[in-house]
Structure 1
Amino acid sequence: MIWNTMMGTSILSIPWGIKQAGFTSGIILILLMGILTLYCCYRVVKSRKMIPLIDTSNWEFPDVCKYYFGSFGQWSSLLFSMVSLVGAMVVYWVLMSNFLFNTGRFIYNFVHDINVTDIVPGTNGSNKVICPSAAGSHPPQNKSVIFSSGNNTGFELFEEWWNKSQTVPFYLIAVLLPLLNLKSPSFFAKFNVLGTVSVVYLVFLVTVKAARLGIHLEYNWFTENDFFVPEFRILFPQLTGVLTLAFFIHNCVITLLQNNRNQENNVRDLSIAYFLVGLTYLYVGVIIFASFPSPPLSKECIEQNFLDNFPSDDIMSFVARIFLLFQMMTVYPLLGYLARVQLLRQFFGNAYPSVFHVLVLNVAIVGAGVVMARFYPNIGGIIRYSGATCGLAFVFVYPSLIYVISLHRAGQLTWPALIIHIFIILLGLANLIAQFLL
């Protein structure tokens, strides 16, 4: 359950993050961030048990924050929790727009027997890999050449009304906004298995593509040329920002572990889940990076969503996009429900005070997704900014501060423990600041 919950859209940006950090430093950072976030998550799980003389069996982590920091802890934890939820929903909207666009394009071309080639550099052959970023700072939206078509005018009209950023993000409103207004999204929780299927299929896709493309690696430790990036790059904080959200489960881990039949196994199960998540990220990131064909392309061509490196007419990528599109359309209402419960219950004491309140909140959330899909469809950037922001509180600051305060009140605080946890807090602060500097 923890592995399935933690695995999300971040997996699509891990190869791009490794490119930004450098191959060797990328691998090291995935391992170190996995260990660090696991430790901080362990501190979250243990935080309730360090409160004496109070029954905390029904407490969530925000309740623990309120106990130690008063109303500031309560409201700040709410704020950062909303940042993580709304940030995830914005990423989902951008990705759903991407997947819906490519899916619609594939179906239209197949039905009308249209052979289309994108105007972007790419490799030749059946295992084609493309470089959308070579066409400019942003991937081209609908730029293509028709090699054979019975109705070019119809295709041009389709491309005008089926645009990745200008039209498709708005089409999603008709489907998802009504779903967000449902009182209970329990129906969509039944489709949680789609998340596991999607990740398993992505691993399968990556394995097959790598087997066909082969390995393309050349070690350049500190210098870069046209085809290879160095092993260590100053842009490595961009990967740590992505990884903060990729390993983020701290605001709901207590709830998930409450369902364990044997509570004494919580730490073991949490460790196993983090190991599996880290292994999955490592496998996908390393394999995509290592097999990316350079030459003739450059490793710099690896996109923030690695599926964008495969053309829209690629069958395996089409299936992956279908899986991910349906998974996200079922998870999106669940995220909206969590955001509604946390925010409206805090302000009005009721998760559904009225249709008007819920509608205003959902319109604001959907509007944020549409705006980002329209003007800033960079999932890597959105993930690292939101991950570093919410991670500062839930991953680095609150777990460390609560542990230090509890040790101090019990008379057990030592200098090594104090120094280590202050260092963890400083790492989280540096992680956030670096996102805006690099």
Structure 2
Amino acid sequence: MRDLIRNYRNIISRKSESDSEAESQPLMASISSSNSFGTVLESCIFNPESDLSESDFDKNSRKSTTLPIYTGMTRKFSKRSLKFSSPFSGSEKYSSSNTFNSCQDFSSSIGIYSATNDSSLDCKDFKDPYRSFEEPTTEGKSTTQSSLVTIFSIWNTTMGSSLLAMSWGFEKTGLFSGIFINIAVAALCLYTCYILLNVSEKHGVLGQSHEVCDLCKELLGKWAEILAKIFSVVVLIGADIVYWILMSNFLYNSVLFFYDFINSKASSDANMTVLCPKEAIWDLKNVTNLNLDIEKSPFEQYWNLHSTVPIFLAVVMFPMLNFKSPTFFTKFNSLGTVSVGYIIFFVAVKSYSFGINLPNWDQEIYLKSTFSALSGMLSLSYFIHNIIISIMRSNKNQQNNKRDLSIAFGLITFTYLFLGVTFYIAFPLAKSCIEDNILNNFPKNDNLTIIARILLLFQLFTVFPLLSFMLRNDIFANIRMISKGTNYGNFSYKKVIFINCIVLFVCICFACFLPRIGTLIRYTGAASGLVYIFMLPSLLKMASLKKEGNLTTLRTIFYTLIISIGVLNLFSQFFISV
């Protein structure tokens, strides 16, 4: 759930340096990149048709600048002066005198990679792009991050809603098979991240934000760039839907708890320590079949999880989605790390209290027919490919990129395995009762569960407007790219309201008719994973090898096999019922 957006404020506020310094702390990690998600931004130029008015940026910064393009050689990542903060380090400022200012601001956790209007970042300040990484700025401070910060930035970014569904994925696969699939998918995602970094180092254009979309355009053609941008937006839309379902769930249960508490009403599950919602649904169907009337209070009639609550939530959220610059929400960014830490603590405490409850160890060896549910979900759990280039670019010691990336993926894998395996082994009821949101397995009056729901609800309240802000910016940018010379992609409040209405309508429909985050995560992960994890890295690598004259038949077969795994992973989602 993520520490969804880190260091996002300068991009969305685009204020003066003094104003920007008044805000601090990173945002909660995320899955999206403005560049990777289709945002088309020009170096050192603010598009006047963006979400900002003319007064929000310095007109003098909008200059046409031709940057030198170096070809025919292998290049290391160029030093960039980035404002990048995380829970483990303070913010670092831009320096106009720094070597090779990128004229761009990167927000790693949602991966926002955008031009900035800071006057200190004028492209005229570009100097020799081959100066050393180790050279400090005029202030004597390094503008890059240590390996430790980079490792935890990657870990923080990947932690998301799949944390709550990991045990559910193990139930669909089997314990030992789930462990194997988890490690295998992690290794494959790590390898394809290596590929993207390697290709970016060889073929990235100096002075430009060479992300996956840019590499696709350069090496594969326009079709690959468009494909990457489409599926990046798919990830953003999928995240919005999943978060809306979770917000509706947390809001419903939180309000219901306080309603029962105020009215001194005992909950039906008050004496239970763990629940099996599937059995409750089955009992309700049996009661309905017996034509027994169930009386509901007026409150219960108007406060229904799958009908009224998503609509009430939309009434509250809609005004916040129309802010021109949602800078206010970035002030609560530290909740991402707190939320992940609390989920780990929650699972550890509950599992310890339950003890080991796995009577049939021998049955856990076998692979279940629904195993692809876990592989699809893991494709999103390890999804960081659209912003990995930008994150690793800020690493102080570029020679340690592979090592740091490997350590980060090892830490991510351990976290997922700890949460999934621990809760799965300790769950005291039938394993089929495990929900894709494990908080649903606990009663409303459970103290730890109450804290978890309220904390996650507040976090998502601050994250959802930012995700929606990025989604509409990506849509505007892509429209401007497609319809050059027209005004279709220009900002206007009517267009913003129209887009937000469509987004909320889609989210409400899913929350009412398909409120299953496990299903949504596995489909979104399998689709986006096919493009970003399996296909594009393999095609980029083959194109790079072909350009160098090193593409052999064996290598072609190997990378084609990786693509085939992604295709099978996606299509298998349509042939299982979970």
In the alignment, is the contact (CA less than 8 A) between 2:200 and 2:389 conserved in 1?
no
Q: Is 2:336 aligned against 1:195? A: yes
Q: How far apart are 1:67 and its partner, in Å?
A: 1.4
Secondary structure at 2:268 match in 1: strand
Secondary structure at 2:343 match in 1: helix
Q: 1:206 to 1:351 in 2, by over 3 A?
A: farther
| Alignment correspondent of 1:301 | 433
Query: In the TM superposition, what are the counterparts of 1:181-220 in structure 2 within 5 Å?
Result: 181-220=322-361
Q: How far apart are 1:415 and its partner, in Å?
A: 3.6
| Alignment correspondent of 1:121 | none
Letter in 1 for 2:221: G
Partners of 2:489 and 2:210 in 1: how far apart? 18
Query: In the TM superposition, what are the counterparts of 1:204-243 in structure 2 within 5 Å?
Result: 204-221=345-362, 231-243=366-378
Q: Is 2:420 aligned against 1:285? A: yes
Query: In the TM superposition, what are the counterparts of 1:93-242 in structure 2 within 5 Å?
Result: 93-118=244-269, 128-136=273-281, 156-221=297-362, 231-242=366-377
Q: TM-score, length-normalised on structure 2?
A: 0.68
Match of 2:562 among 424, 429, 434: 424
Q: How far apart are 1:277 and its partner, in Å?
A: 1.6
Partners of 2:366 and 2:306 in 1: how far apart? 34
Q: How far apart are 1:270 and its partner, in Å?
A: 2.4
| Alignment correspondent of 2:388 | 253
| Alignment correspondent of 1:335 | 467
In the alignment, is the contact (CA less than 8 A) between 1:341 and 1:351 conserved in 2?
no
Letter in 1 for 2:312: Y
Q: How far apart are 1:354 and its partner, in Å?
A: 1.0
Partners of 1:352 and 1:238 in 2: how far apart? 41
Partners of 1:413 and 1:56 in 2: how far apart? 29
Partners of 2:518 and 2:439 in 1: how far apart? 13
Please list the CA deviations of residues 161-188 of structure 1 after superposition, one character each: whole Å capped at 9, or x if unmatched. 1111111111111232222222223332
Q: 1:132 to 1:193 in 2, by over 3 A?
A: same
In the alignment, is the contact (CA less than 8 A) between 2:355 and 2:426 conserved in 1?
yes
Partners of 2:332 and 2:525 in 1: how far apart? 25
Partners of 1:133 and 1:193 in 2: how far apart? 35
Q: How far apart are 1:413 and its partner, in Å?
A: 2.0
Q: How far apart are 1:274 and its partner, in Å?
A: 1.7
Q: Is 2:578 aligned against 1:437? A: no
Match of 1:405 among 530, 543, 548: 543
Q: How far apart are 1:258 and its partner, in Å?
A: 3.4
| Alignment correspondent of 1:21 | 173
In the alignment, is the contact (CA less than 8 A) between 1:49 and 1:56 conserved in 2?
no
Greater share of residues in helix: 1
Structure 2 stretches of 5 or more lacking a match?
1-152, 289-294, 482-487
Q: Is 2:525 aligned against 1:387? A: yes
Letter in 2 for 1:307: L
Secondary structure at 1:417 match in 2: helix
In the alignment, is the contact (CA less than 8 A) between 2:220 and 2:543 conserved in 1?
no
Please list the CA deviations of residues 356-380 of structure 1 after superposition, one character each: whole Å capped at 9, or x if unmatched. 2222222111111110000000000
Letter in 2 for 1:68: L
Secondary structure at 2:275 match in 1: coil
Q: How far apart are 1:240 and its partner, in Å?
A: 0.4
| Alignment correspondent of 1:148 | none
Partners of 1:189 and 1:272 in 2: how far apart? 28
Q: Which has the higher contact order (CA 8 A, sep 6+)?
A: 1
Partners of 1:378 and 1:205 in 2: how far apart? 22
Q: TM-score, length-normalised on structure 1?
A: 0.88
Q: Is 2:405 aligned against 1:270? A: yes
Q: 1:20 to 1:37 in 2, by over 3 A?
A: same
Secondary structure at 1:50 match in 2: helix
Query: In the TM superposition, what are the counterparts of 1:19-58 in structure 2 within 5 Å?
Result: 19-51=171-203, 54-55=205-206, 57-58=208-209
In the alignment, is the contact (CA less than 8 A) between 1:21 and 1:236 conserved in 2?
yes
Q: How far apart are 1:352 and its partner, in Å?
A: 6.0
Q: How far apart are 1:416 and its partner, in Å?
A: 3.6
Secondary structure at 2:333 match in 1: helix
Identity of aligned pairs, percent? 41
Letter in 1 for 2:317: L
Q: How far apart are 1:57 and its partner, in Å?
A: 4.5
Q: How far apart are 1:25 and its partner, in Å?
A: 0.4
In the alignment, is the contact (CA less than 8 A) between 1:241 and 1:385 conserved in 2?
yes
Secondary structure at 2:267 match in 1: strand
In the alignment, is the contact (CA less than 8 A) between 1:85 and 1:339 conserved in 2?
yes
| Alignment correspondent of 2:447 | 315
Q: 1:256 to 1:192 in 2, by over 3 A?
A: farther
Match of 1:65 among 185, 198, 216: 216
Alignment: residue pair count: 411
Please list the CA deviations of residues 105-142 of structure 1 after superposition, one character each: whole Å capped at 9, or x if unmatched. 11111122111114xxxxx966x1110012347999xx
In the alignment, is the contact (CA less than 8 A) between 1:87 and 1:386 conserved in 2?
yes
Q: 1:411 to 1:428 in 2, by over 3 A?
A: same
Partners of 2:198 and 2:412 in 1: how far apart? 21
Please list the CA deviations of residues 224-259 of structure 1 after superposition, one character each: whole Å capped at 9, or x if unmatched. xxxxx6642111000000000111111122233333
Partners of 1:70 and 1:177 in 2: how far apart? 39
Structure 1 stretches of 5 or more lacking a match?
119-123, 144-152, 223-228
